[in-house]
């Protein structure tokens, strides 16, 4: 559920990384109409899909932040 991401002025890197690392998560869908702010994300497994709405979603790179591991 990407509803908790994409809030103006909030860096989504740590939250997105936690979801990517969750073994129960199979797909993350970032819907259009929001701006998602994230620096480097690490995909550590092959059974997860990250889908971006290509028409209106933008991923902005911001703040150098190391994800909690």
pLDDT tens string 14-68 = 888 998 999 999 988 887 777 777 888 888 889 998 887 775 556 555 554 444 4
Report whether pLDDT(3) > 70. no
Would you mind telling me the total number of residues written for the chain in this entry?
A: 69
Distance of CA 21 to the CA centre of its chain: 11
Do 67 and 16 meet the contact criterion of CB atoms below 8 Å apart? Answer: no
Do 58 and 30 meet the contact criterion of CB atoms below 8 Å apart? Answer: no
Distance of CA 9 to the CA centre of its chain: 15
């Amino acid at each position: 559920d990407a509803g908790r991401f994409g809030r103006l002025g909030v860096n989504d890197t740590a939250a997105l990384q936690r979801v990517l690392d969750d073994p129960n998560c199979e797909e993350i869908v970032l819907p259009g109409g929001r701006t998602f702010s994230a620096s480097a994300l690490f995909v550590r497994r092959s059974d997860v899909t990250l889908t971006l709405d290509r028409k209106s979603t933008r991923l902005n790179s911001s703040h150098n932040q190391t994800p909690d591991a």
